[in-house]
Structure 1
């Protein structure tokens, strides 16, 4: 139990991998088995995983997400999908109505199922002495990624996962103060100084790839006008009306 807790509490993200390292079939299978054993709503398992080994496909993914060259340089790249196509097949088979898209709830459930499977894969990767990085950037050019991976309707790419042998050691990144994240019994407001303190903490941590304060980074993200690209994709896939 102590080993498991240490693994979870010392998680770190790796973006640089030994390109000569080949993931064994046993290692990959252990990661996939662990991902598939994740909890899911009603045992629905509303996700799928694409194992991307083909170098040409991975090169194209890097071209679509140029800030993530590790997609090509890692040992394997997994794409985790929220998948409501499987249950649509059930509805077709039984000639039943299928109201996915009438509410956002099915998409939220499938995304949660997908995220749980993804986290299991991350933990399994660490347990094998390997490293990984979650790649949300695959959603930036979501239509092109969907076409490249031949995604059918009712399927949405949530995130990718680069896996390999780390080439550079990384420090454990500080997290937000507990009082800003953990609440007991009810949601409780907290002083904004906790967020300001985290800016200072991250500045001292000095991660080279972070060029902005934590607060500024998310100010920039959420003050910008939405492009509508994701919404349009979800509607096209039948996941949102």
Structure 2
């Protein structure tokens, strides 16, 4: 099997890192360079990466988001932000309107660009024999995180990434059955039994963090009204 494909298929998430391990400058630069080479809509590169090495700053970050102590104990923490400030500056310089709130498309573009850069960073990390965990919960305390990192308008945090040397080996987590995810030429209905079978697979996998069946977890999550403060935040950032 191709080495890159083997690496991708071997992906797993790590949350326990050696606290005395420090990434070399060369390793960090390799990860950041790979991240910056990610695909981007129209080469707009509508994202930025904040490299967080300072321990005091990371302590404040964990105080905001205490369920993710690895943000402090990892070797480095990267914050990926959707960034439409750069093109706002261009519009201002060119003295043209900047009508990004007329459609959700610019927000989707910037979020996708940031996510692709994030995924490249994950792959580069694993290629170096290191581990990582994506932290989407930075959006749960989005106002506090934004203030901590002085995010300007037209910018919002998409997710963070803790990177380090793993101290606990993890298993490869099973994914949904291929028949429930892959469609050829057109979207096709499939037997719901595939989803129920996945519940059984995940229950057998027995990850300690998973306290609910997969179906129950997402039935509960999407059965309640969304966090409207997130929408309010995006409006404050001039993104909606």
Q: Aligned-pair distance for 1:41?
A: 0.4
TM-score by length of 1: 0.98
The CA distance in 1 between the partners of 2:201 and 2:9, in whole Å, is 18
**Residue number in structure 2 paired with 1:110:** 110
**Residue number in structure 2 paired with 1:62:** 62
Could you list the runs of 5+ residues in structure 2 that have no partner in the other structure? none
**Residue number in structure 1 paired with 2:21:** 21
Q: What is the aligned length?
A: 240
The CA distance in 1 between the partners of 2:18 and 2:75, in whole Å, is 8
**Residue number in structure 2 paired with 1:175:** 175
The CA distance in 1 between the partners of 2:163 and 2:107, in whole Å, is 26
The CA distance in 2 between the partners of 1:226 and 1:9, in whole Å, is 33
Aligned Cα root-mean-square deviation (Å)? 0.7
The CA distance in 2 between the partners of 1:176 and 1:68, in whole Å, is 26
The CA distance in 2 between the partners of 1:197 and 1:15, in whole Å, is 27
Q: 3-state SS of the aligned residue for 1:156?
A: strand
Larger mean CA deviation between 55-64 and 158-167 belongs to 55-64
Residues 124-154 of structure 1: CA deviation (Å, up to 9, x unaligned): 0000000000000100010010000000000
Q: 3-state SS of the aligned residue for 1:79?
A: strand
**Residue number in structure 1 paired with 2:144:** 144
Q: Aligned-pair distance for 1:227?
A: 2.3
**Residue number in structure 2 paired with 1:76:** 76
Residues 157-200 of structure 1: CA deviation (Å, up to 9, x unaligned): 00000000000010000000011111000111111111101100
Over 3 Å off, 4+ runs? none
The CA distance in 1 between the partners of 2:51 and 2:205, in whole Å, is 34
The CA distance in 1 between the partners of 2:159 and 2:169, in whole Å, is 23
Q: 3-state SS of the aligned residue for 2:45?
A: coil
Matched, 1:238 2:238: yes
TM-score by length of 2: 0.99
The CA distance in 1 between the partners of 2:225 and 2:106, in whole Å, is 26
The CA distance in 1 between the partners of 2:76 and 2:18, in whole Å, is 12
**Residue number in structure 2 paired with 1:190:** 190
